[in-house]
Chains A and B, each alone.
Chain A
Amino acid sequence: MSDLTAATLEYATRLGDDALVLGHRISEWCSNGPFLEEDLALSNVALDYIGRARMYYTYAAELAGGGKTEDDFAYTRDAREFRNLLIHELPRGDFAYTMVRQLLVDVFNLLYLEALTQSADANLAAIAHKAIKETRYHLRRSKEWVLRLGDGTAESHKRTQRAVDALWGYTHELFEIDALEQSLAEVGIGVNNTGLRPAWLAQVSAILSEATLTVPKDDWAVRGGRVGYHTENLGHLLTELQFLHRAYPGLKW
């Protein structure tokens, strides 16, 4: 396998990990939503993410060869091998927390996928073209909810601000790049995410201000997802996600 193929395989796996872990988190709302329509909406968003993970993993499996499938990536790797950014694995929290995370991630994804549609890798570009259309719908909804909750009752405002404050330190990692991603960005395959922060911050700040929320100071940051250092939460999530496959390897539905 050439270095470029190996790097692309790792990159597709990372993006698949981001999508799978967040998709699983959102799916935890299924049957726990605050009301029926919201339960359906969250389940649908979760499905979009899991579908996205399948596309990235299927491509990674194709690059890996040797008969690997998407399931090998989702079900047989341990927490230390997952490369998702940490913001995706944090527990779902209350509804305000879930919607604030969606807003922060949706604005980021829109910018990121826009850039990825230009990828020199036809498969990654095709996945981005597909995913970005769904992300536009996700963002419309998360934005509406953050406005409604932030500018809602004293209680909803308090919880939404608490979520913004708790999540803010995890957003810095979204804009960090390592040598592998740098090398792919240089050949036009990967996205140089370091340049996306000004646009992200401008959009997020405008929405938070309109929602009467305060944009936190940048005085703390947590990182490590891309090298496999995770919070304790990922292991718990994988325990549930991988249980069936670990207990009955190769089981078919």
Chain B
Amino acid sequence: MVLSRTQRLLRAFAAWAVVMLFVFPIYYWVTLSIKLDREIFSIPPKVFSFETSAKSYEEVFGISLGFEEGLAVLPGGGDFYMTPRLWDSIVIAVCSTVLAIVIATLAAYALSRMRFRGQHHFVFWILSTRMMPPVAVAIPMFFIYRDFGLLDTYQGVILIHALMNMPLAVLLLKSFFDDIPKEIDEAALIDGASRFLIFRKLVLPMAVGGIAATAVLCFIFSWTEFLFVLTLTQTGLKTVPVVSSTFVTSTGTAWGNMAALGTAAILPAFVFILLVQKNLVRGLTLGSVKQ
């Protein structure tokens, strides 16, 4: 299709407009974290020109960035040294993603390639575990965790996040494995390879794109999950979403601090996604079989 100059310009403009629409809230959020408190609520809002300050970051992470001396005590008081909370989030998100992916990949391969009685029901059951709203299981989970001594532990949160991610990961990965022709497995079976060797050496490298995509979804879920972390942890650990809610206090909301933590929390997720996104390419099966 040949586009005229006007059409091309119009298309570029439309594309940029959509991008801006989506990026603006993030931009505004980031500016909040470097604004002074009095400028956060100024009317009209100061979008581009305002006085910058690292104060929010210094307060949230308990570090001095060299701009101002000392630390202020914020309304509501309490522990605002958030660096360990960021670390909690990273450990939980990475570990729960790895756990979910390892188990889900094996399960999805088996579901994609092997046949057993009641398989359809089994797949449906996996999916159905996601149908119950988390709120409905939060309280029972609390008692179970208490009895098993999992409350307020990394293992506990990692487990529940992996568990929450597993159904979706299994079904997603199953569809990726279904896309890989089963003749490849069959050819390798005849060639003398074991099921596990086929999985590890042939199928897994072809599914890298799908695994990366699934991992990103799992990571983001765990990174943003609120309810279970809130109910299943006490003082030992807290993830960023839960801890940022503590900025809302009876005497006011520390918007600048919340924005600073939120902005800092974008970074690890961004890095993780950047690392796996090079694998987010389809077409790895190209050339294997005639489509």
Partners in one complex: no
List chain B positions with a Cβ less than 8 A from chain A: none
